[in-house]
Structure 1
Amino acid sequence: MSTKQNKQHTSDKKESQKTADQSNEQTVTEEVTAVLEEIIEETKPEKIKGEIVTLTDETNLLIGDRPYRIVMDYREGFNAEKLGERYSEVLSRYDYIVGDWGYEQLRLKGFFDATNRRAHPDQRIDALEDYLYEYCNFGCAYFVIERVGGKKEKNTQRRKKKKNQNRNNQAHIDEKKAPVESMRKQPVIKNRKPASNKTTTKTTEKAAERPTKSTSKKNFTIRQREE
């Protein structure tokens, strides 16, 4: 075998070894990646879905330990078992929960109270008709349940606290205003002498300073010439 052939053979051997090393590295990397993905999936917390629904009477129920009451049950759309299966913790922040049926599947949607001005108009319960018209099947069965207590009581306490705070602030402002007004002194207006008096006084003083000219003529007799 010639020298040239030996060099070519050595070069081909190196390239094949390099390719094998690269493939081994890729295989190892893929295996490590797969193991990491499995670990991440195992440690990822699963979203808790579902809750026990208990009917206390014909119109009141408990979802877990949260009290609700049935506001509307159109075409017997309310189903406690399906509600418990579809319920999610996210819905606990809303004042109302609307459930509508489509293709034998229950869909839940949360709404805020109509007096909640912080919420978007589409998320308030007074927009229910628009929601049913735009997003629900025509004439579908649905139900509406309202949260009893909880958030509404907190909102009422906040409003009372805010009103009391405003009253206290107003009383504090009134207290500050009172002494300021009483301590104000009315300005004393000095009676000024009329300007004409000053002018007259100055004229009199100047006249006194000037030498007095005798306005009276000397008495003399005109004698008649004798003829």
Structure 2
Amino acid sequence: MDRKSIEDLVEEKRENAKPLAHIKMGEQNNILINGHDYEIMDNQNDCFNLDDFSRQYNPIFSRYSYIVGDYGYGVLRLKGFSEDGTHTPLQNQFSAINDYLYEYANMGADYFVLHNLEVKSKPIATKKRHRRNRKNNRRPFIKEKVTTDKGPLNKRKRLTVTKSEGHGKRHFTIKQRED
């Protein structure tokens, strides 16, 4: 296959693709996607095209607060961003949109930013952390223990080990019996 026939097949597939969402233009800068309101915040060079957007849109973008679309070589690319301060990585938050456009979009490419006014995000599942049982650490250890060390016969002595009553501190006093 030559390049021309491949491009024709790709274009035919794009034209025959059914949109995954019901999208219609509302008043001024408002768009209605599957019954949810979106607002066009930024539209550089009036590049927003409803037909291109409806072909590229996927319902997974409904969980994002912002959708950024940029054109590179005549093809629309969409990326979702969340509100600042959510449990998403910093590169996927609203404050990183300008960095994304600077680093990943083509230089001088047209872009638009949509704001989802009715975000449907999944609840964040938090991991439960197990805490250690610290009941034993609340009271100082005041037990006296006598041990016998089984070293050489001429050096065997009885040792007394005690712990001071300081809270959370481990101060030991070792006393040796003198003969």
Interval of TM-score (by shorter of Structure 1 and Structure 2) = 0.5 to 0.7
Alpha-carbon contact 2:40-2:112 (below 8 Å) kept: yes
1:69 and 2:39 are equivalent in the alignment: yes
How do 1:18-29 residues align onto structure 2 when only pairs under 5 Å count? none
- Give the alignment partner of residue 74 of structure 2, picking from 99, 104, 109: 104
How do 1:108-127 residues align onto structure 2 when only pairs under 5 Å count? 108-116=78-86, 118-127=87-96
Q: Secondary structure at the match of 2:40?
A: strand
Structure 1 match to 2:112: 143
- Aligned partner of 1:126: which letter? S
Deviations 1:116-167 (A, max 9, x none): 2x11000001101110111110010000000113448x99xxxxxxxxxxxx
Deviations 1:15-62 (A, max 9, x none): xxxxxxxxxxxxxxxxxxxxxxxxxxxxxxxxx853232111111111
Structure 2 match to 1:221: none
More helix by share: 1
Structure 1 match to 2:30: 60
Alpha-carbon contact 2:65-2:119 (below 8 Å) kept: no
TM-score computed with the length of structure 1 as normaliser: 0.44
Gaps of 5+ in 2: 1-17, 124-179
Structure 2 match to 1:82: 52
Supply the distance in 2 between the matched residues of 1:105 and 1:128 (Cα, whole angstroms). Answer: 19
Using the aligned pairs only, state the percent identity.
36
Supply the distance in 2 between the matched residues of 1:85 and 1:63 (Cα, whole angstroms). Answer: 13
More strand by share: 2
CA shift at 1:115, angstroms? 3.0
Alpha-carbon contact 2:40-2:113 (below 8 Å) kept: yes
Supply the distance in 2 between the matched residues of 1:94 and 1:136 (Cα, whole angstroms). Answer: 19
Which structure is higher in RCO with an 8 Å CA cutoff and minimum separation 6?
2
Structure 2 match to 1:130: 99
Structure 2 match to 1:197: none
Alpha-carbon contact 1:53-1:81 (below 8 Å) kept: no
Supply the distance in 1 between the matched residues of 2:110 and 2:30 (Cα, whole angstroms). Answer: 20
Supply the distance in 2 between the matched residues of 1:63 and 1:110 (Cα, whole angstroms). Answer: 15
How do 1:1-227 residues align onto structure 2 when only pairs under 5 Å count? 50-116=20-86, 118-151=87-120
